[in-house]
C-alpha cells in the first residue's frame, strides 16, 4: 500500500484516557503541551481528525504563521457536518472530507471523497502527502492501528488528571474493541516536567 508516514498526537490522563465519557474538549493540559501540539503540526503535509474530535474541540487545523498550510482532512461515516464549524470559517489548507459511509454530501470549498479509510490514505499519497499527522480521536486511531498504519506516536502523560469512566476513550477508542494483534513501538524521546505534572513522550513503530 502506498500511503503517507502517519504520526498521531494525544494527551493521556493518569488512568489512560484521552477524554471523558462526555467527550470533554481539549484544554485540560498545560500551555506547554498546547504549544507542543502546534509545534508537531509544523512541516507536515496534512492534518487529519475524526468528526467527533472536530465537533468537540472545534479546531481550525492550521499552523500559526506558516506560509504553507497543511491539507485539512476530516474522517466521518455520515459526512454530516455543521456549517458553523470554525474549520469552515478560517483560511487554511484545502479541506478534504472522507465519507466512509452515508449519503452523498457537498460543502462549498470542500473536496469530498466517498471511500474507505485505506483508500483515502492512498488518495492522499497521490496528492503528494508524505507525512500525515492525526490528532484524534480514539476510534480513528483504532482504525489506523488495525491497518498497522501508525508509524509514530506522540503523547503527553498528564499525571495530574484522572478522567475515569467505563466509556471514556483510550488512545484506540473505548476499551473492548481490541486489535487483532499487538503492535510494538520503541521509545524515541521522553521529557519529564514534574512542575507541570506532565511527561512528553514519542514512540516509533518497531517493524
The 10s digit of each residue's pLDDT in 137-190 is: 899 999 999 999 999 999 999 999 998 888 888 888 887 778 889 999 999 999
Neighbour order of strands in the sheet with 95-99: 110-114, 95-99, 71-76, 46-50, 131-134, 5-13, 152-158, 198-205, 185-193
Domain that holds residue 107: 5-205
Strands (DSSP E) found in 69-158: 71-76, 95-99, 110-114, 131-134, 152-158
Question: Quick check: 38 and 135 in contact, CB under 8 A?
Answer: no
Tens digits of residue pLDDT in 33-54: 999 999 999 999 999 999 999 9
Q: How many Å apart are CA 147 and CA 204, to the nearest integer?
A: 16
CA nearest to 160, candidates 202, 203, 193: 193
Number of C-beta neighbours around residue 207 at 10 A: 7
pTM of the full structure: 0.93
d(C-alpha 66, C-alpha 33), whole Å: 20
pLDDT for position 104? 87
- What per-residue confidence (pLDDT) applies to 24? 66
Hey, what's the cell of 114?
466517498
Q: Which of 133, 169, 162 is nearest to 37 (CA)?
A: 133
pLDDT tens digits for 90-110? 999 999 999 999 778 999 999
| Structural domains counted in the chain | 1
The domain that contains 162 carries what CATH number?
A: 3.40.430.10
Amino acid at each position: 500500500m502506498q500511503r503517507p508516514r502517519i504520526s498521531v498526537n494525544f494527551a493521556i490522563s493518569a488512568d489512560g484516557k484521552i477524554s471523558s465519557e462526555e467527550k470533554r474538549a481539549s484544554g485540560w493540559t498545560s500551555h506547554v503541551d498546547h504549544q507542543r501540539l502546534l509545534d508537531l503540526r509544523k512541516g507536515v503535509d496534512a492534518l487529519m481528525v475524526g468528526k467527533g474530535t472536530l465537533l468537540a474541540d472545534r479546531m481550525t487545523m492550521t499552523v500559526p504563521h506558516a506560509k504553507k498550510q497543511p491539507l485539512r482532512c476530516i474522517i466521518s461515516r455520515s459526512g454530516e457536518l455543521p456549517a458553523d464549524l470554525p474549520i469552515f470559517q478560517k483560511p487554511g489548507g484545502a479541506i478534504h472530507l472522507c465519507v466512509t459511509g452515508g449519503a452523498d454530501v457537498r460543502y462549498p470549498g470542500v473536496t469530498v471523497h466517498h471511500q474507505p479509510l485505506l483508500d483515502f490514505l492512498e488518495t492522499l499519497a497521490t496528492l503528494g502527502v508524505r507525512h500525515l499527522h492525526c490528532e484524534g480521536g480514539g476510534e480513528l486511531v483504532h482504525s489506523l492501528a488495525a491497518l498497522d498504519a501508525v508509524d509514530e506516536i506522540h503523547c503527553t502523560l498528564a499525571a495530574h488528571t484522572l478522567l475515569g469512566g467505563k466509556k471514556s476513550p483510550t488512545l484506540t477508542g473505548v476499551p473492548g474493541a481490541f486489535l487483532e494483534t499487538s503492535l510494538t513501538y520503541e521509545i524515541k524521546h521522553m521529557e519529564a516536567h514534574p512542575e507541570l505534572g506532565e511527561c512528553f513522550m514519542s514512540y516509533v513503530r518497531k517493524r
